[in-house]
Amino acid sequence: MPDWKQELIRIVGERGYLDRPEDLRLYEYDGGVDKGRPEIVVFPRSAQDVSAIVKVSRRHGVPIVGRGAGTGLSGGAIARSGGILISFARMNRILEIDPFNERAVVEPGVVNLDISAAAAPYGYFFAPDPSSQRACTIGGNVAENAGGPHTLAYGVTANHVLGLEVVLPDGEILRTGGFWPDAAGYDLTGLITGSEGALCLVTKVIVRLMRKPESVETFLAIYDSVDDCATTVSEITARAITPAAVEMLDGSMLQMVEEAVHAGYPLGAAGVLLIELEGVREAVAEQAAQVRQACAACRAQEIRQARNEQERQLLWKGRKNAFGAIGRVSPFYYVHDGVVPRTKIAPTLRYIEDVSRRSGLAIGNIFHAGDGNMHPIILFDARRPGDIEKAQKAGFDILEYCVDSGGSITGEHGIGMEKIHLMDRQFSQESLEMMRRLKMTFDPARLFNPGKLLPERQPCPELRQPPVTPGGSLPC
């Protein structure tokens, strides 16, 4: 056993690490298609433990990657270069709920939904709600700047993080922001949120809590045409209404979800919109009338309104469990994450249909229509030669179309190792160079999450082990 491993074991104890091959296999993947196995997984219990681990990494030149629940979809928590993987599973305490100041202080391993559960007795909740919120952790949410269905009204994770405690690549513990908004000085909290673990490791988070709305109304608008369904999103916006959520499912996704969840979705429709309004009772009632008019103007064949909380939860159960429902239809699927302007949703869906036809792979669509955050789901079979390469090419074609349409290669899943070679399609060389300089300021040895987020100007440094990728490793 190398010296650096022995030093790590002394820090975390005999029950604080894993290094057997059969255990490491559990940490070589996330929710995407790429793989990379670490040489050891360690489970710190405090910021001091993390600092000590990072100092070992620095002394011995061993790469290091932070990991929450492993629900990410772009390879951000994969040990592409081998080395050390820090799991924050044991740093999972809610340290403080402060309803008077509308704040909570949590460790990075706290599950997203648990924050809302802890704040609920005080009439508050934590707004960012990724579909994986029953499993994903706040540390991973911060790293990826996670979103969710309700970010249309409430914003992404960055809008709800007020302060951080982090460990820098030299082992120093740094605190940014605080309990108050708009702290003086440079916005280091905003810089770190969404940096995908490439600048530092988060060990504590101060989040903003939101008061539960007085009134909530949920609608399911049903359409015979995908174009009409997509056009409704712009029609609602044109009426100066910002719903809490506007989610879209096309016909193929409706079939898969309904057969698995029995949420009451129509099986014969071309698409549906799941629309939710929140706020003061009188305002919600007025907006509800406007939403009905907007849907009717765009030729909705039916508009259903949840009659009670049970029906509302059932509709959302279908949306939140959609990815799991796909497993009943396809042994493998590839979820992508591009963004287009709301007015380009309909042509983007037509382009995705064309990609499906050209690739020979079925593609379903379920996405955050309110902000144009597309999630095409490409079905494939990795056991069939060439299928994963076709799935990857289909996904990259769609992302390039998103950029050409004035959008982005990611809305909430991050870049990771999945989209690293598309960064120069999104950003100029000058912008990428500025990002590299920033990375080097924090991490001159390039040991924090190497091979992620930013394409290298020169060939990748030699990896400690080759990444294990079903379709071959992607270029650095």
pLDDT for 184 equals: 85
Name the strand (E) or helix (H) holding 364. strand 363-368
Of 393, 349, 388, the closest CA to residue 367 belongs to 349
- pLDDT surpasses 80 at 465: no
Residue appearing with tokens 């009134």: 215
Confidence of residue 458 (pLDDT cuts 50, 70, 90): low
Note the maximum CA span of the chain.
Answer: 69
Domain with CATH 3.30.70.2190 in the chain: 215-324
Average pLDDT for 106-121: 98
pLDDT tens per residue, range 170-229:
999 999 999 887 778 999 999 999 999 999 999 999 999 999 999 999 999 999 999 999
Confidence of residue 463 (pLDDT cuts 50, 70, 90): very low
DSSP 27-46: GSB-SSS-B---SEEE---S
> What does DSSP assign to residue 462?
P
Confidence of residue 456 (pLDDT cuts 50, 70, 90): confident
Output the CA angle 430-436-441, nearest 5 degrees: 130
- pLDDT surpasses 50 at 462: no
Name the strand (E) or helix (H) holding 363. strand 363-368
Domain with CATH 3.30.70.2740 in the chain: 330-420
Q: How far is CA 448 from CA 57, 58, 75, 130, 443, in A?
A: 9, 10, 14, 25, 7
pLDDT tens per residue, range 360-409:
999 999 999 999 999 999 999 999 999 999 999 999 999 999 999 999 99
pLDDT for 472 equals: 34
Average pLDDT for 328-344: 93
pLDDT tens per residue, range 78-94:
999 999 999 999 999 99
Looking at the chain, the whole-number percentage of residues with pLDDT higher than 70 is: 96
Q: Is 349 helix (H, G, I), strand (E, B) or coil?
A: helix
| CATH (one of 3.30.460.10, 3.30.70.260, 3.30.70.2190, 3.40.50.720) for 215-324 | 3.30.70.2190
Confidence of residue 323 (pLDDT cuts 50, 70, 90): confident
What CA dihedral angle connects 295, 298, 302 and 306, to 10 degrees?
-20
Mean pLDDT, the chain, whole residue set: 94
pLDDT tens per residue, range 237-294:
999 999 999 999 999 999 999 999 999 999 999 999 999 999 999 999 999 999 999 9
| CATH (one of 1.10.10.10, 3.30.70.2740, 3.40.50.2300, 3.50.50.60) for 330-420 | 3.30.70.2740
- pLDDT surpasses 60 at 470: no
Cβ distance 162 to 207 under 8 Å? yes
Would you say domain 94-211 falls under CATH 3.20.20.140?
no
Domain with CATH 3.30.465.10 in the chain: 94-211
Looking at the chain, the whole-number percentage of residues with pLDDT higher than 90 is: 92
